[in-house]
């Protein structure tokens, strides 16, 4: 088998950017590291806030190290998000990118809906079915957020410590710094301590590699930090993230697989996209097939060829 889901060792603890950092990105790296190393330091937090003010002068402090940043109301209304509902994941990251004036936001790959509250209502399923129809059919629903601070602290990656509701983005300081600095790393919740290794799940590391690939294809200088020494993932996890990479195009899919090769998570192969699709082709079929976003004609080309030999 190409991948068996067993624990795999990673030789690198970080993956540096392929493109040089800008001075502002380098400053964000320094401030993020200071913030991590001095968790309770008011001085570090204040320096970070002053730096973020250069990008979002209208931000406000919520509590602890969480801040809110206003965005144009059209950001979420353009996605059809009704008042009172919000987004997490990629859509929230794009809203934060706009709030920090880093670049024009991209249309998110998909929408993950949230709502602040304690009890579900019939409107939740109506909105979910309308805005994330495919995921709704697979069981996804509106996620209720009862405690915003606790929610932000529970994310897998630092850049996911963000939500957008109505015309406001709520984010952690570290998320804002890592978004500016183009850093992918486990959140504090997952990143361990001096005596405890990071507990990042294999699927989250695959997400880091996929986002690293997306950023590099856009010409951005992303880094991967805090990579665990060992991690495991299944071929199901790999197929899911490869399909998501295809949603951004085959160049992203190829860069995603190349990044996994650099991390020694996959063997280096010729024609890596063809090889991966051939190895995972059995997960394509059925109502819940995992390759809905790989074009049919692409499968036709793949299945005509024999499996390429390893380099």
pLDDT single digits (tens) 10-62: 555 688 888 889 999 999 999 998 888 776 577 888 999 999 999 999 999 88
Tens of pLDDT, residue by residue over 79-116, are 889 888 999 999 999 999 999 999 988 888 889 999 99
Average pLDDT of the chain, as a whole number: 85
Give the class (CATH, top level) of 23-184: alpha beta
d(CA 36, CA 193) in angstroms, rounded, equals 11
243 Cβ contact partners less than 8 Å away, ≥ 6 residues apart: 290, 291, 292, 293, 294
Its pTM surpasses 0.85? yes
Q: Mention every residue, 6+ apart, whose C-beta is less than 8 A from residue 245.
A: 210, 213, 214, 252, 253, 255, 256
Is residue 269 within 8 Å of 231, Cβ to Cβ? no
The pLDDT value given to residue 306:
58
The pLDDT of residue 199 is above 80: no
Residue 6 has pLDDT above 60, yes or no: no
Tokens 């991590």 sit on residue:
36
Range from 84-98, 180-194, 219-233, 239-253 carrying the lowest mean pLDDT? 180-194
CA pair distance 69, 100, nearest whole angstrom: 8
> What three-state secondary structure class fits 102?
coil
Domain edges within the chain: 23-184, 190-304
Q: What pLDDT shows up at residue 241?
A: 96
b/e per residue 257-293 (b: at least 16 CB within 10 A)? bbbbebbebbeebeebbbbbbbbbeebeeeeeebbee
Distance, in Å, from the CA atom of 206 to the CA atom of 117, rounded to the nearest integer, reads: 31
């Amino acid at each position: 088998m190409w991948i068996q889901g067993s624990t795999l060792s990673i030789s690198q603890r970080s993956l540096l950017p392929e493109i040089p950092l800008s001075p502002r990105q380098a400053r964000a790296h320094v401030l993020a590291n200071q913030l991590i190393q001095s968790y309770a330091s008011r001085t570090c937090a204040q320096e970070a806030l002053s730096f973020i003010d250069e990008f979002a002068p209208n931000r406000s402090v919520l509590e602890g190290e969480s801040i809110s940043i206003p965005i144009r109301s059209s950001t979420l209304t353009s996605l059809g998000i009704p008042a009172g509902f919000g987004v997490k994941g990629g859509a929230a990251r794009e809203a934060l990118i706009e709030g920090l004036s880093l670049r024009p936001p991209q249309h998110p790959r998909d929408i993950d809906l949230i709502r602040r509250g304690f009890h579900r209502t019939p409107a939740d399923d109506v909105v979910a079915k309308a805005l994330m129809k495919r995921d709704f059919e697979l069981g996804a629903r509106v996620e209720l957020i009862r405690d915003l601070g606790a929610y932000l602290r529970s994310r897998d990656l630092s850049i996911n410590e963000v939500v957008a509701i109505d015309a406001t983005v709520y984010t952690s300081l570290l998320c804002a710094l890592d978004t500016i600095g183009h850093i992918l790393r486990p959140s504090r919740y997952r990143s361990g301590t001096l005596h405890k290794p990071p507990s990042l799940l294999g699927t989250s590391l695959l997400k880091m590699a996929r986002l690293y690939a997306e950023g590099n294809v856009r010409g951005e200088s992303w880094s991967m930090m805090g990579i665990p020494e060992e991690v495991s993932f299944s071929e199901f996890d790999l197929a899911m993230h490869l399909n998501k990479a295809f949603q951004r195009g085959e160049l992203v899919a190829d860069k995603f697989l190349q990044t996994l090769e650099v991390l020694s998570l996959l063997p280096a192969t010729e024609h890596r996209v063809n090889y991966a699709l051939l190895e995972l082709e059995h997960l394509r079929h059925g109502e819940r097939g995992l390759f809905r976003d790989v074009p049919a004609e692409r499968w036709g080309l793949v299945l005509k060829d024999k499996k390429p030999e390893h380099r």
